Amino acid sequence: MTEKERFHETMKFGNPDRPPYHEMTCWPETFDCWYTEGYPKHADYRIYFGFDRYEDVGIESDIHPVFSEEVIEDTPDHIIKTDWRGVQVKLAKGSRCIPYFYGFPVSDRKSFREFKKHLDPLSAARYPHAWDIRIKELSDRDFPVYLGNARTIGFFGPLREWVGPEKLLMGFYDDPGWIHEMMDYYADFIIKLTAPLLRDVSPDCIHFFEDMAYRGGSLISPDFFRTFMMEPYRRVLDHFRKHNVPFFVVDSDGDVSELIPLFIELGIHGMYPFEAQAGMDILEVRKVYGRDFVIWGGIDKKKLFGSKKDIEQEVKSKVPQMLETGGYIPKLDHEAPPEVTFDNFCYYRKLIREICEKG
């Protein structure tokens, strides 16, 4: 079975020879630790661990042109700069602290209209110079390809990157017209950006970036989702369906339990990464939604901090049951942090392979 056939069979609850071997990448600091533990310095992560080939189609869907980076303050403890997204960020030196974001390029209607120059869907630079070569490669492929890399393609997630979470959430109450304007514009952006792509290539999957929840629940209510997001989602999904794109998945951290029914109503096929520490129990999700929702992930990365027995207990308590019901891609519930040793990660992936290939 080819990697493309395997992916399609898994996504439609069919009969793959095994599930695809996918995994989110690791923190840069994780690789730094692994290099001292035996991981080859120049190894290709996908090849080294035997992951299935799964590629982005290769067009630029993020802001373009990017902002010029500018250092605002540089001390022995931290650096404050404006990054390539136009966000002012404080980064601690010599530690793995979460960056502190305190300034965003969009704050109101006026600044959004200025920001739109970074969201020109018709810019020729968004497509590779050798697009004709890429078209030929993708037309003959036996592996799946997707659209929606990094933090692009979506509605809550990308807007949060431009505006910041606090300003965005207050905007739903204080200036709903502004939120509608941004989401409608972004729906138009996605449609215009991908129209040339879809004439030449049919992606196997669209990834929507949302990150619209935390461990206590979703950041917006289902009612607000209906009010602000349903219509732009429908327009974009209809556009992709007209061009025979078969599958759609959502990337969101946190406890997204109350939003899953809305994604199913839209015709979204699945979600990842199902963060265990946020209370996302993939066995329970499968029990509730059955074959209506494909699940990627859900294996608690923190269990890989412990012993091999901890890893085995976590994997064996979830993966065999999920594989029995189908529509499942086993992977961690997010990127592997430095607490995950190279040896433990190798053991975890070996265990996944053994379970999946037993049938």
> How confident is the model over 190-210, as a mean pLDDT?
97
Q: Which residues contact 354 (CB under 8 A, 6 or more apart)?
A: none
Per-residue H/E/C for 300-322: CHHHHHCCHHHHHHHHHHHHHHH
pLDDT greater than 90 at residue 230: yes
Q: Check: CB of residue 189 under 8 Å from CB of residue 121.
A: yes
Question: How much is the pLDDT for 89?
Answer: 94
Return d(Cα 218, Cα 259) in angstroms, integer. 7
Question: How much is the pLDDT for 164?
Answer: 95
pLDDT in tens, 22-70: 999 999 999 999 999 999 999 999 999 999 999 999 999 999 999 999 9
With cut-offs at 50, 70 and 90, classify the pLDDT of residue 102.
confident
Question: How much is the pLDDT for 359?
Answer: 62
Question: How much is the pLDDT for 95?
Answer: 67
Q: Over pLDDT 90: what percentage of the chain?
A: 95
In a 13 Å sphere around the CA of 282, the CA atoms on its Cβ side amount to: 33
Question: How much is the pLDDT for 52?
Answer: 98
Question: How much is the pLDDT for 94?
Answer: 76
Question: How much is the pLDDT for 97?
Answer: 72
Q: Which 8-state DSSP code applies to residue 332?
A: B
pLDDT in tens, 252-299: 999 999 999 999 999 999 999 999 999 999 999 999 999 999 999 999
Question: How much is the pLDDT for 273?
Answer: 97
* Structure tokens, 51: 């992951």
> How confident is the model over 144-154, as a mean pLDDT?
90
Q: Where in the chain is the domain with CATH 3.20.20.210?
A: 3-63+106-357
> Helices 165-174 & 176-200, crossing angle to 10 degrees?
120
Q: What is the dihedral of CA 260, 265, 270, 276, to 10 degrees?
A: 0
Report the sign of the C-alpha dihedral through residues 286, 325, 56, 46, in that order.
positive
- What are the distances in angstroms from CA 20 to CA 26, 79, 177, 320? 19, 41, 42, 15
pLDDT greater than 90 at residue 98: no
* Structure tokens, 253: 């951290």
- What are the distances in angstroms from CA 280 to CA 19, 74, 99, 155, 185? 21, 40, 25, 22, 32
> How confident is the model over 199-220, as a mean pLDDT?
96
> Which CATH number fits the domain 3-63+106-357, given the four candidates 2.30.29.30, 3.20.20.210, 3.30.450.20, 3.40.605.10?
3.20.20.210
Q: How many CB atoms lie within 10 A of CB 182?
A: 25
- What are the distances in angstroms from CA 342 to CA 97, 244, 350? 22, 41, 12
Question: How much is the pLDDT for 4?
Answer: 98
Q: For the chain, give the mean pLDDT.
A: 96
Q: Which 8-state DSSP code applies to residue 278?
A: G
For the whole model, what pTM was predicted? 0.95
* Structure tokens, 189: 């952006």
